[in-house]
């Protein structure tokens, strides 16, 4: 009897020791805290997360046994949650498991704007999927290599022979490192893909594949982290992130005076370089709107631009703007217009219209038919403009602060417009 009690106590002690030594989930060690890691999930609530393009979290996400659970009620059109906070350069780690035949994903640099109904048209995705059982559980659908687990979805694929993927129902650990455009994906400690965003190779892949018509895909250097419920249960835990240093400020010319390198033409209106090295916008036969945007996104900056209105002059400088489809810009315009039409004022191209119109006594600052200089300074939600050295606009606007996008020059519809541009110089802040 004594022997039986002895072994029972020993067994109990061993069990207690195992439990006490089990790693604690959704916590940070003292070392991790010192290194700058922060949790994106506290293990008990969904604080810090909300619906994509929403103000609250409405599902289909719940906290179950210390995990964030995707209930499997989402679809391609819905079921996405994003962090309240945005991130630029970072090291992101998380653990996940998925149901048999399941499909999910983690996106980053996601841009929120009502013109984007789903996050994946802006944010790259680390694919999470049960390769082994997906075909069996999904009516015989065979995955393409760019759809398999741990790929940069529809862009870069790993060596699947060396990839270490645990089966459905078991925990995997994934990692994304984004450092000033250099991107590394890892699965269970092994690199799956490594690439440079916005490189020549990156743009070629984008133009040749699924994202060819998604003009804003992968362009933002900052944005939200996003989890996807793609119609299958999935579980996430130990989601943590360490922010890496922000990019250094740069100062450069946006236009080289020789060709249209670094710019994207939206529409059929004319943009060309004349014999004097000026960028010219001119109405084409369609007499429609046209936009000429930087290939890169710019957030905080100080920009100076010279312009000369040779005919009509109805144009503008758009900031933090996107062109989600066709020739339909979504953003904010510092006005360049004929005399008496608020050059230097600010107009929102969707929703609210004019945010600021200049006083009548400042209309004579514009020198029609001569060279003018517009300066635009943008920092967070604070937007300022100057025309020929005179202050025109000084506003603070929350929506502008949340904006992400390109700098675009506009040619208005109606025909008969010709404007010359030069000395497009930017300093990022």
C-alpha Rg value of the chain to the nearest Å: 26
Span 126-147, average pLDDT? 94
Q: Which pLDDT band holds residue 59 (cuts at 50, 70, 90)?
A: confident
Average pLDDT value over all residues in the chain: 94
Q: What is the distance between the alpha carbons of residues 75 and 99, in angstroms, rounded to a whole number?
A: 15
- Please give the pLDDT value at position 12: 45
State pLDDT tens for residues 141-166. 999 999 999 999 999 999 999 999 99
- Please give the pLDDT value at position 7: 43
State pLDDT tens for residues 179-223. 999 999 999 999 999 999 999 999 999 999 999 999 999 999 999
Who's near 191: CB < 8 A, 6+ residues apart? Answer: 158, 184, 185
- Please give the pLDDT value at position 21: 57
State pLDDT tens for residues 221-265. 999 999 999 999 999 999 999 999 999 999 999 999 999 999 999
pLDDT at 169 over 50: yes
All structural domains of the chain: 25-243 (2.60.120.560), 251-428 (2.60.120.560)
Neighbouring CB atoms inside 10 A of 57's CB total 15
Q: Which two tokens stand for residue 403?
A: 């904006």
**CA distances from residue 360 to 44, 187, 335, 364, 372 in whole angstroms, order as listed:** 57, 61, 15, 8, 18
Q: Which pLDDT band holds residue 361 (cuts at 50, 70, 90)?
A: very high
Helix (H, G, I), strand (E, B) or coil at 236: strand
pTM of the model: 0.91
Span 377-383, average pLDDT? 98
- Please give the pLDDT value at position 4: 41
Span 51-76, average pLDDT? 94
Q: Please state whether beta strands 67-70 and 234-243 pair in parallel, antiparallel, or not at all (unpaired).
A: antiparallel
The DSSP annotation for 42-90 comes to -SS--TTEEETTSSS--SSEEEETTEEEE-S---SSS-EEEEEEEESSE
The DSSP annotation for 121-137 comes to GTS-EEEEE-HHHHHHH
Q: Between these two residues, 54 and 2, which has the higher pLDDT value?
A: 54
Who's near 364: CB < 8 A, 6+ residues apart? Answer: none
pLDDT at 378 over 80: yes
- Please give the pLDDT value at position 363: 97
Burial annotation 222-247 (CB, 10 A radius, 16+ → b, else e): bbbbbbbbbbbbbbbbbbbbbebeee
State pLDDT tens for residues 408-427. 999 999 999 999 999 999 99
Per the CB < 8 A criterion, the answer to whether 157 and 148 are in contact is yes
Per the CB < 8 A criterion, the answer to whether 404 and 220 are in contact is yes
Q: Which helix (H) or strand (E) holds 98?
A: strand 90-98
Quote the strand ranges of 323-370, DSSP E.
330-336, 346-348, 353-356
Q: Which of 17-21, 29-33, 207-211, 296-300 has the lowest mean pLDDT?
A: 17-21
Who's near 243: CB < 8 A, 6+ residues apart? Answer: 36, 38, 87, 88, 89, 90
Q: Which helix (H) or strand (E) holds 320?
A: strand 315-322
Q: Please state whether beta strands 37-39 and 234-243 pair in parallel, antiparallel, or not at all (unpaired).
A: antiparallel
pLDDT at 14 over 90: no
- Please give the pLDDT value at position 60: 83
Burial annotation 89-122 (CB, 10 A radius, 16+ → b, else e): bbbbbbbbbbbebbbbbbbbbbbbbebbebbbbb
Span 388-394, average pLDDT? 98
- Please give the pLDDT value at position 55: 94
**CA distances from residue 100 to 153, 337, 402 in whole angstroms, order as listed:** 20, 59, 38
Q: Which pLDDT band holds residue 325 (cuts at 50, 70, 90)?
A: confident
Q: Which helix (H) or strand (E) holds 307?
A: strand 301-311
């Amino acid at each position: 009897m004594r022997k039986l009690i002895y072994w029972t106590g020993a067994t109990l002690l061993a069990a207690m020791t195992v439990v006490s030594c089990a790693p604690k989930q959704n916590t940070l060690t003292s070392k991790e805290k010192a290194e700058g890691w922060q949790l994106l999930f506290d293990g008990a609530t969904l604080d810090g997360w909300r619906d994509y393009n929403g103000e609250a979290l409405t599902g289909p996400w719940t906290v179950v046994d210390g995990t964030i659970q995707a209930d499997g009620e989402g679809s391609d059109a819905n079921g996405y949650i994003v962090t309240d906070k945005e991130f630029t350069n970072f090291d992101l780690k998380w653990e996940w498991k998925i149901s048999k035949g399941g499909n999910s994903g983690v996106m980053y640099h996601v841009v929120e704007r009502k013109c984007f109904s789903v996050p994946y048209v802006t944010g790259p995705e680390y694919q999470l999927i049960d390769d082994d059982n997906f075909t069996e559980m999904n009516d015989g659908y065979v995955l393409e290599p760019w759809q398999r687990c741990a790929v940069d979805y529809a862009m870069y694929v790993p060596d699947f022979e060396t990839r270490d993927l645990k089966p459905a129902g078991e925990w995997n650990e994934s990692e994304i490192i984004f450092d000033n455009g250099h991107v590394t994906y890892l699965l269970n400690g092994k690199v799956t893909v490594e690439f440079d965003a916005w490189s020549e190779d990156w743009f070629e892949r984008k133009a040749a594949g699924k994202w060819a018509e998604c003009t804003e895909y992968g362009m933002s250097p900052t944005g939200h982290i996003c989890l996807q419920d793609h119609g299958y249960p999935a579980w996430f835990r130990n989601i943590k992130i360490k922010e890496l240093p922000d990019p250094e400020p740069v100062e450069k010319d946006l236009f080289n005076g020789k060709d249209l390198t670094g710019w994207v033409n939206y529409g059929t209106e004319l943009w060309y370089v004349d014999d004097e090295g000026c960028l010219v916008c001119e109405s084409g036969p369609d007499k429609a709107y046209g936009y000429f945007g930087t290939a890169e996104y710019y957030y905080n900056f100080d920009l100076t631009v010279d312009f000369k209105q040779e005919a009509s002059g109805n144009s503008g400088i758009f900031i933090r703007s996107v062109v989600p489809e066709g020739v339909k810009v979504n953003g904010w315009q510092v006005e360049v217009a004929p005399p008496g039409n608020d050059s230097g004022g600010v107009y929102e191209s969707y929703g609210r219209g004019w945010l600021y119109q200049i006083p009548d006594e400042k209309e004579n600052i514009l020198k029609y038919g001569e060279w003018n200089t517009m300066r635009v300074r943008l920092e967070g939600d604070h937007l300022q403009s100057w025309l020929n050295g005179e202050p025109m606009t000084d506003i603070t606007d929350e929506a502008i602060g949340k904006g992400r996008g390109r700098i675009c020059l506009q040619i208005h519809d109606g025909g008969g417009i010709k404007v010359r541009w030069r000395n497009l110089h930017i300093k990022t802040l």
